[in-house]
Amino acid sequence: MSRTIEFRDALREAMSDEMRDDPRVFLIGEEVAEYDGAYKVSRGMLDEFGPKRIIDAPISETGFAGLGIGAAMMGLRPIVEFMSWSFSLVAADQILNNAPKMLYMSGGQLQVPIVFRGNDGAGGQLGSTHSWCVESLYANVPGLKIVIPSDPYDAKGLLTAAIRDPDPVFCLESERMLSMTGEVPESPYEIAIGKAVTRREGADCTLVSFGRPVHFCMEAAEQLAKEGIDCEVIDGRSIKPLDIESIVTSVRKTNCCVVVDQSWSFASIGSEVAAEVHKHCFDDLDNHVHRVHSDDVPAPYAHNLEAEMLPNPRKICEAVRSATYNA
């Protein structure tokens, strides 16, 4: 049975369902227990599961990320919450060196079934250091997987799949979407990691995006439809593995592609998608792949500057008009 719940509730349901089902699963992070979660994602979980499984960590990302990795090496299934992925940078050695390489450098002896999750991307005017989109930075590393839900249904399904996955999975959520509501089934379900979904069908241009900017693409598609440009919108759902097949199939139909990626443009998810589409759709494309990213500047504080920096419907519309020779 489905009912309408918030994005944060969907995340909590995924964690709570898995914790009821598997006693090896536990949650650790800053303010996840007594504070009820800095963003109320873990609200009530301490009451149900107790302090041995819902664990308040000191403000020591390297420490508790590494602790989770060690626990996973022993067969537990930790969920490590970063209040913001911006704070994961101080734990970079643990999450990039230890978690994704342990299986390989131990010659297959030690798997690390761990989930790192938290808010990714700009919040509301949080300034330069708190607005990181880590996906392009982290996707460069082999051995980890990255999922990025764009609505409550995906939040529950992708996080459930991440917790059950035997490899390290980074789940990138968005502070701006935690209050978004949507239809979510009550019983547990998985959304396959590495499979994209088509959010809108169209004939003229393929928009490829991930996470929160998917909604900007949908807005842009509505606007462009009024102008007679029919967009198809692909939500990647996962960044690693990347579902190139779905993207290529769509571009072969529309002969046009615009990638919308909230990280900076240099060596990014957007440039990777563009490279792959150029390779596989070279003869199909009517124009080169266009890209919309956050501008190549540190995130500003001022409301108007931040809105201009991020991918937004206006920028997406401009890119699609250019790509379809309607500029």
Which of residues 244 and 305 has its CB atom nearest to other proteins in the complex?
244
Q: Which of residues 266-285 bind other proteins (CB under 8 A)?
A: 272, 275-276, 279-280, 282-283
Candidate list 16, 42, 94, 160; residue touching other proteins; CB under 8 A: 94
**What is the smallest separation between the CB atom of 16 and other proteins, expressed in angstroms?**
16
Whether residue 280 lies in the annotated active site: no
Q: State how far the Cα of 208 lies from the Cα of 270, in Å rounded to an integer.
A: 9
How far is residue 24's CA from residue 19's CA, in Å, rounded to a whole number? 8
124 binds other proteins (CB under 8 A): no
Residue of 1, 34, 124, 142 that binds other proteins (CB under 8 A):
142
Local structure of residue 300 (DSSP, 8 states): P
Q: According to the binding rule CB under 8 A, does residue 185 interact with other proteins?
A: no
Query: Which region among 57-65, 127-135, 197-205, 314-322 touches other proteins (by CB under 8 A)?
Result: 57-65
- Which parts of 30-49 interact with other proteins (CB under 8 A)? none
Q: Are 295 and 309 in contact (CB under 8 A)?
A: yes
> Between the CA of residue 198 and those of 201, 217, 231, 249, what are the distances in Å?
7, 12, 11, 11
Least separation in angstroms between CB 168 and other proteins:
9
Interacting stretch for other proteins, rule CB under 8 A, among 32-40, 70-78, 120-128, 179-187?
70-78
193: Cβ–Cβ under 8 A, 6 or more apart, which residues?
Answer: 145, 147, 158, 161, 162, 165, 169, 238, 241
Task: Tell me phi and psi for residue 219, to 5 degrees.
Answer: -60, -45
Q: Is 293 a catalytic residue?
A: no
**Considering the rule CB under 8 A, would residue 107 count as an interface residue with other proteins?**
yes
* Sheet of 197-200, strand order: 197-200, 231-235, 205-209, 257-260, 290-292
Give dist(CA 306, CA 87) in Å, integer: 20
Question: Which residues are designated catalytic?
Answer: 61, 130
Residues that bind other proteins (CB under 8 A): 23-24, 26, 52-53, 55, 57-58, 60, 62-76, 93-94, 97-98, 102-111, 142-143, 145, 166-167, 194, 240-242, 244-245, 248, 272, 275-276, 279-280, 282-283
